[in-house]
Amino acid sequence: PNFGLIRAATDDPAIRPTFLGQTPFSAFSIDLRSPGAERLELLPSLSLRATGGEGVPLELVDLRPFGAPVLYYAVRVAALRVDGVDIIDGYGDVIAVMDTGTTGIVLTEDLFGRYDRTRRAVAEEAAVAGRKSRGQNKYGNIEVTLGAPQGASQRLAMRRGLVDGYGARFAAVKAIPDDAGSVFYRAEQLQPDVKRPAVIFVGLAFMLGRRFSV
């Protein structure tokens, strides 16, 4: 999970050293643009070479001050749209952990409820209006906009159906119980009253066909 390449962790002795933290590398690039030619490159530092001089720079959010045990590759979520409806409009802070160990997207139980209600409402509204959606994947489409509201942003759409080159489907949408999926679990036991952002996990269904450098 989290590319399996977490580098920085807290000073808590209960947290074991990370793999990348025991190497001289401080950055990496993962290329998922071509099925069968996926590439991972470990780098001493992040530079234009790692990005090919392209891409949208997004600022990582350090969740350790909220009680996370490691520095996840996490980015602020500006919008989370289900069939065109932003389900986090006015919701509060939402952070996405970019995670190749996740197939599709994992939401908090509350956000999953919003997702489910929204896709059903959009489908019912279309049926009442007599509108017909084309294609196999009519409803439940998800688009995540990463980045701060006033800064650079990047839209990632969930790929649905069989993905060319893999012959597999990646568009799984799941809820995970807070007590099992929270990245703040230990801290929440000690300081339950601290206000923390909602954390979701964005996986391969949003990453395939792209290149990421961290």
Token digits of residue 172: 């799984």
What is the arithmetic mean of pLDDT over 94-120? Answer: 94
Q: Is the pLDDT of residue 16 over 60?
A: yes
CA torsion, ordered 159, 5, 55, 201, to nearest 10 deg: 40
The predicted-structure confidence for 19-41, as pLDDT tens digits, reads as follows 788 888 888 889 999 999 999 88
Task: Please tell me the number of Cα atoms within 13 Å of 93 on its side-chain side.
Answer: 11
Domain that holds residue 151: 2-213
Distance CA(162)–CA(13), nearest Å, equals 44
* pTM for the structure as a whole: 0.87
Interatomic CA distance for residues 203 and 195, integer angstroms? 26
- Residue 48 vs residue 128, higher pLDDT: 128
Mean pLDDT of 124-137: 72
Q: How many domains does the chain have?
A: 1
Bigger pLDDT: 28 vs 188: 28
More confident residue, 106 or 131: 106
65-83 pLDDT, tens per residue?
A: 998 888 889 999 999 999 9
Report the candidate in 144, 143, 148, 123 with the shortest Cα–Cα distance to residue 133: 123
- The answer on pLDDT for 1 being more than 50 is no
- Identify the CATH number of the domain in which residue 200 sits: 2.40.70
Closest CA to 106 of 78, 70, 144, 136: 144
Compute the distance between CA of residue 96 and CA of residue 82 in angstroms, rounded to an integer. 16
